[in-house]
Amino acid sequence: MLDSGSPSGEEAIAHQREVQDLISSMGYVVTEMPNPTCPYDILISKRSGSGLVLSGIAEIKSRTRAGNKDLTIDYLNNEGGYLISMDKIESGRKASKYLGVPFFIIVKLVSTGDVVCWKVTDADGSLIEEVSGRVSQTRATVNGGVANRENAFLSTNSKNFFILEQGTRS
């Protein structure tokens, strides 16, 4: 869980909101979840006639480093992809099935400004992204600590991977 009240947590939320603004600029209406313990961060809707139609749900992450290396698209390409907990994927899958919309994982690569995305489920909540879990050690929260979790790696070679925004930093 994000330590949202800490300085590092507040910085992560600021990055999340930048991603939300990017999605909004693409013609979507973004609704942020009010509770930081919610298993996903946003609802994504499209205007239709006089109302809104739910189009997707997403978990947004912002990452600067992986261990002692900058987290970049090249790093993701060369190191097997993006690590995310199987709990996040399963929670998103369940919500996707219940709400009848796809689930996305969106990651802002802070060191380059790139924003990348994986479509993880279809509108039925079925996994369309190949995910296989293995237990690995990660930071417990944005403020540190250690957690041993079942994690998956999302590949940049996937047909479900796309770049939402190319960063301006190199």
Positive or negative torsion for Cα 122, 82, 32, 5:
positive
Reading the chain (170 residues) residue by residue, the pLDDT tens digits are 446 567 777 888 899 999 999 999 999 999 999 988 888 999 999 999 889 999 999 999 999 888 888 999 999 999 889 999 999 999 999 999 999 999 999 999 999 999 999 999 999 999 998 887 777 776 666 666 777 888 998 999 999 999 999 987 64
- The domain limits of the chain are 7-165
- Which CATH number is correct for 7-165, 3.40.50.20, 2.40.50.100, 3.40.1350.10, 3.40.50.2300? 3.40.1350.10
User: What distance in Å separates the CA atoms of residue 117 and residue 101, rounded to the nearest whole number?
Assistant: 16
Helices vs. strands in the chain: H and E counts, helices first: 3, 11
Q: Could you tell me if 159 and 144 are in contact, meaning their C-beta atoms sit under 8 angstroms apart?
A: no
- pTM here? 0.88
